[in-house]
A and B are shown apart, each in its own frame.
Chain A
Amino acid sequence: EVQLVESGGGLVQPGGSLRLSCTASGFIFGGYWMHWVRQGPGKGLVWVSRINADGRTTAYADSVKGRFIISRDNAKNSLHLQMNSLRAEDTAVYYCARWGLGSGIYGLDYWGLGTQVTVSS
């Protein structure tokens, strides 16, 4: 069974940093691109970042470019999001999700339950 479990969320002051993790199981992690998607309180889904299967290429939404860094450790089946210079508008639930192309699916076919990040003084 495919599972994605996020961790690392919490309360942080503006300007602070936080590192999110996503632990994957039930599939060959190194065969899939991975994404982070966030959802502010009462808001819609917003794409944040993605990383390809071997970790060599990454992409970011303009709103986080230069502040967030996505990475992965395929040996440990883990995905990370280093978030620096956090702002109040980064407050959201952060989901990791699998891009299903490795299974022939052009979509985010599995999602974690999310981890809450709150940026406030």
Chain B
Amino acid sequence: EIVLTQSPGTLSLSPGERATLSCRASQSVSTNYLAWYQQKPGQAPRLLIYGASSRASGIPDRFSGSGSETDFTLTISRLEPEDFAVYYCQQSDRSLLTFGGGTKVEIK
């Protein structure tokens, strides 16, 4: 089973700042199968990025994904008030999914 480790656990930033979230895999992940989700309290997760770097429909271009093999990054270029949430990475290996533990982006 591929384990995903997200860091930091919590990121305290102010609106307008840049957020950089890390997702490291215990073994190589196909870039096709690395996704990022955003979850706000009391809501279902929302797909942000798939294929490591493709934005899902309706996702603003301040969100970007990058990386390959075992190191992946989600970047939010300028935080808007609605971006404060928990973010999860997810990989698919032989159709078995695993999620990272999440990074909470909170208002400083």
Instruction: Write the A78-115 contact mask toward B (1 if CB under 8 angstroms, else 0).
Output: 00000000000000000100001000011111011110
Chain A interface bracket (under 10, 10 to 19, 20 to 34, 35 or more): 20 to 34
B87 to chain A, nearest CB (A): 11
Which A positions have Cβ atoms within 8 angstroms of B? Answer: 33, 35, 37, 44-47, 50, 52, 59, 61-62, 95, 100, 105-109, 111-114
Further contacts, 15 of them, CB under 8 A, given A37-B97, A45-B88, A107-B47: A33-B95, A44-B102, A45-B39, A47-B97, A47-B99, A50-B97, A59-B96, A95-B45, A105-B47, A105-B56, A106-B33, A107-B90, A108-B35, A108-B45, A111-B44
The chain B residues found within 8 Å of chain A, CB to CB, are 1, 32-33, 35, 37, 39, 44-47, 49-51, 56-57, 86, 88, 90, 92, 95-102
